[in-house]
Amino acid sequence: MLCLRKGAWRKKADLKKNLIQRLRTATGHLAAVEGMVEGEQYCIDILKQIAAVQASLSKVAYALADSHMKHCVRDAIEAGKGEPKVDELLETLKYLKHF
Amino acid sequence: MLCLRKGAWRKKADLKKNLIQRLRTATGHLAAVEGMVEGEQYCIDILKQIAAVQASLSKVAYALADSHMKHCVRDAIEAGKGEPKVDELLETLKYLKHF
Amino acid sequence: MLCLRKGAWRKKADLKKNLIQRLRTATGHLAAVEGMVEGEQYCIDILKQIAAVQASLSKVAYALADSHMKHCVRDAIEAGKGEPKVDELLETLKYLKHF
Amino acid sequence: MLCLRKGAWRKKADLKKNLIQRLRTATGHLAAVEGMVEGEQYCIDILKQIAAVQASLSKVAYALADSHMKHCVRDAIEAGKGEPKVDELLETLKYLKHF
């Protein structure tokens, strides 16, 4: 997972814990947004909370892309097979809201 | 909530149900993304699912902004108090990833 | 143009001048980016300048959307024909990079 | 420029020509947008053209990031100095509207 390099296990455990924590918080945040709609709160306040969740998800995506480039793409490049990995990453970034 | 106009109650119930359904689906989707990190799946697959959640949230934001403009902003304009409502909406859109 | 309301002529002249100034600056900036590619400057520096032009264009789009909502959409709403104007604006915002 | 690898000169000339062509077209497009404001055309039509310019700039940024990763970042990784290059690229992508 997260295509970490050998010898990077401690770093991997930290990243994994950090991502899970952030995703759990974002999931709770999103459930609270559902409660705001249920409770018929003001649209602008709901939109602001959606924006906050989107910002959290962008940070998670950023951390994942960072780790992916530093490990998986790096390994592929060192094995002389970097181009398809770069294509794959850039293609994926197209569909992500910018970081 | 959703600042709907009088006489728009049926429409309001539909919108509310629709938004809650979408947010619930997005929340479940996000919990599944957490499971993907936990299960150490491939970063690119995780990034694609984050992109899918962001796209769902953008659609919810779009529906909210649409309803807000057609009801709350409209009412404010008809009462001669439109400008602060427009300022507030545009300011909020700045922080939302584009629709 | 800019669908300004009657009685808003001074404001209109100011907005028009301001938008033209900003677009002219952005056009010059973009021509300079072309020069950077021609001169084979560092990709990251070129990317940063493209980001700066995009930020300028977003500000122009924001000012236009603001004026559009406060005049053209407002007039349509006051004439009881607001919905198609709101649909048209939201549809357009979808294709704009967020403000 | 464009940090192309040795032995990639033909490719480099093609990329450079392609980027310059696209930037020149975008610059002309932006000058035309200024003319639309000058000619007081409809805001929504102006916003659509700004969106088109932004889309063109995103494509240029995408091509640059692609080349940068396949040459400059690759070279840095092969020389054992990949991490700062990855950090620099990701930091820059933050400020670019998404591809």
Q: What confidence tier does D20 reach under pLDDT thresholds 50, 70, 90? A: very high
To the nearest whole number, what is the mean pLDDT of chain C? 90
Q: What is the pLDDT of residue A78?
A: 94
CB B50 within 8 A of CB A93: no
DSSP structure string for B53-93: HHHHHHHHHHHHHHHIIIIIIHHHHHTT-HHHHHHHHHHHH
For chains B and C, CB pairs below 8 A equal 52
pLDDT above 90 (res C97): no
CA distance B57 to A34: 11
**A61:B50 CB<8 A:** yes
Q: What is the pLDDT of residue C23?
A: 98
Q: By 3-state DSSP, what share of chain C in percent is helix, strand and coil, each rounded to 5?
A: 80, 0, 20
CA distance C65 to C55: 15
Q: What is the pLDDT of residue D17?
A: 95
Q: What is the pLDDT of residue C9?
A: 58
Q: What is the pLDDT of residue D11?
A: 76
High-pLDDT (> 70) share of chain D, %: 88
State which residue of chain C sits closest to B79, comparing Cα positions: C78
Interface test with A, best of B4, B12, B37, B58 (most A CBs within 10 A): B37
For chains C and D, CB pairs below 8 A equal 135
Tell me which H or E stretch contains D57. Answer: helix D43-68
Tens-place pLDDT, residues A24-77: 999 999 999 999 999 999 999 999 999 999 999 999 999 999 999 999 999 999
CB C59 within 8 A of CB C97: no
With contacts defined as CB-CB under 8 Å, which chain B residues touch A98? 97
- Residue in this structure with the two tokens 């809650």, named with its chain if needed: B20
The amino acid sitting at A73 is V
Q: Along the 99 residues of chain B, how does pLDDT read in single tens digits? A: 556 665 565 678 899 999 999 999 999 999 999 999 999 999 999 999 999 999 999 999 999 999 999 999 999 999 999 999 999 999 999 888 766
How far is the alpha carbon of D35 from chain A, nearest alpha carbon, in Å? 30
